[in-house]
Chains A and B, each alone.
Chain A
């Protein structure tokens, strides 16, 4: 007997339909189907651009010839690029360290404030994180730019000589890190606070009964429980901070004499500014191995702790 609409034998049709149903009913099939848009997105927005930028970095300046690793060779011999590597590492590592420390302290302070007060303070402390960084950095520039800034105005009125904050290498590096810490610390705070809220109060109560001091509670309860969150947030923040562009571009544009230049600003300068897109790609790709090293060490620690906890 044939199916009236398709003309297929009914038995064959029912076998096929049930196979299809089985396939559709399998959890893995559904999960895979639902992930297809995500795979497409990752392929289009991450994998393809990554390989395309590797390809670009091996082209000549006018993108007409394949020159292999010449761009990388040149960068490794360039004194300016050595400065860029040093400054990028200094900027990212120092900024992330202070963001983590300040975020950790703020999270504990917040955790010990209760009720409405905590909501108010939490909201206020999140303000730097929700303002677009280009705007807030401009505000910082007005406060610290050399000749006419608010901070120098105060110094002069206190009888202290104005400081050209962004024209001296040490101070310029200091301020780009400060602005990054100011912007990023609230993220750490909110991540740590969320984790702290999940720690059972009984642990702290028991520690208090045993006579533990505040520092001991942090050392023996908070830190071990927060370790994985700290690692993941540090890794996440390292990635974002290494790729930071707007803070340095607005505050110093790499000055004085390229001593505040980081990977992103230098890649922009040579790639878009000087019209050398292959070299710009090569500069930006240098972030990848550096971040890979950080990621390997951090994620190895996370995995080890997860295995131990199981």
Chain B
């Protein structure tokens, strides 16, 4: 009764007072440590263990400064280690989970419908630092929109890493082809796929094979992707037409028929660890990989490491293509704190932060913003000092980064990549002695399926 009475007697003055008090509430609101909400990140668990603590520290620093409660989960990805892709699939289907997710290679194309557009973030960074790697752009864009931000963390080129002594024994000084200083050399022009084919028997004769795989995991697929781009070959062209029987494809298949007999006997079952082991064991004269194999050799086989030099892939009739496996950060549409997520990702890709991360990964990470390819880390690492100087693409390298299975439309390229279609063709041809016609028929049927799905 009393309550009803007092409510009925609420005067206009009282109502005004209450309104003013309510309006002033935000002004006197005490800003807590987590005032700007929370963010959950799923980033790639780095191969180089020292890189993870730096990432954690950077994320914590940003969270503290911006009053955001940030949780960072590090998920592994690689051969037989698939926590990251499984989490991506689960979160995309369930519409719940982390705010920010790491994606590798073609994953952005698989899940772009669940991601927000990142044009503002990426265009801002391009304005600030110059162009983004074109292969990263191909993989991250859908209909001209950036669906994820290419990141340095985990992104890698897979250029050649050769044994200096072997090349010297063949009258080639790779250090003079690609010295640890700016500027193109005349010798670099001699580094061709034809030259590599000449060297392969010599390596096999010396008991030092080329550690190149024709298996079904990414290192093998990336090598053949670079080779195909160098010859202008593609199983599917940019318009989505099947070009399995085109002249350049036949040329590359013939090239592989000549090369494979000099590759290791287990080349068809190579996985992503095999070429590393080939180099570290001292049994290989040449591999195509990021410097991770050399890093491990520096620890486990110092003499081998001191004899290694990283330099761009050979040139073919059409291009010098460096295999590229980039990583991306995307924000799910279901994220409740998209503004904070964008802010954090932008901050993490600023030059000082990228440099810290690259240094922590001992130069393994490749920044997608090409202007950042001049960090000091690649000049100072050794022995021999400067061994990874030519790991990032330098302006005078006359090289292009290559996303395997391009220029096929991303929807088809991603399937050619995951199913290792070209490498299966090479294996059928060289290891299972199948006829060229049968192999081409098989490839055509498989690719038809990828197109019609």
Contact = CB atoms under 8 A, between A and B. Distances in A.
Interface of A: 60-62, 71, 74, 77-80, 134, 145-148, 162-169, 172, 246, 249-250, 252-258, 268-277, 279
Interface stretch (B179-187, B274-282, B353-361, B362-370): B274-282
A61 B269 contact: no
A166 B266 contact: yes
B446 interface: yes
Given A148-B283, A277-B89, 18 more contacts: A60-B453, A74-B453, A79-B445, A146-B264, A147-B277, A147-B278, A162-B265, A163-B265, A167-B266, A167-B269, A172-B269, A256-B432, A257-B427, A257-B432, A270-B415, A272-B89, A275-B106, A276-B415
Contacts of B243: none
A256 B427 contact: yes
A147 B107 contact: no
B453 A146 contact: no
A253 B414 contact: no
A79 B442 contact: yes
A-B interface, 9 closest residue pairs, ranked by CB to CB distance from nearest: A146-B266, A275-B110, A274-B418, A164-B266, A273-B418, A256-B268, A164-B265, A166-B269, A257-B427
Contacts of B110: 274-275
30 contacts: A74-B452, A78-B445, A80-B419, A134-B80, A146-B265, A147-B265, A147-B283, A148-B281, A148-B283, A162-B265, A166-B266, A253-B215, A253-B217, A253-B271, A255-B216, A256-B215, A256-B269, A256-B427, A257-B427, A257-B428, A258-B216, A258-B424, A269-B418, A270-B418, A270-B419, A272-B85, A274-B415, A275-B111, A275-B414, A277-B93
A272 B431 CA distance: 28
Contacts of A167: 265-269, 431
A274 B278 contact: no
B82 interface: yes
B432 A169 contact: yes
B86 interface: yes
A252 B266 CA distance: 11
A253 B453 contact: no
A140 to B, nearest CB: 13
A168 B107 CA distance: 31
Interface in B243-296: 264-271, 274, 277-278, 281, 283
Contact of A257 (B268, B418, B452): B268
A250 B111 contact: no
Contacts of A74: 449, 452-453
Contacts of A249: 80
Contact of A146 (B111, B269, B414): B269
Please classify the interface of chain A as helix (H, G, I), strand (E, B), loop, or mixed, using the class held by over half of its residues: loop
Contacts of A62: 113
Interface range for B: 35 or more
Contacts of B169: none
Contacts of A71: 453
B79 interface: yes
A276 B453 contact: yes
Contacts of B411: 61
Contacts of B445: 77-79
Contacts of B215: 253, 255-256
Contacts of B80: 134, 246, 249-250, 253
Nearest to B107: A275
A61 B271 CA distance: 28
Nearest to B441: A79
Contacts of A269: 418-419
Contacts of B404: none
A76 B326 CA distance: 35
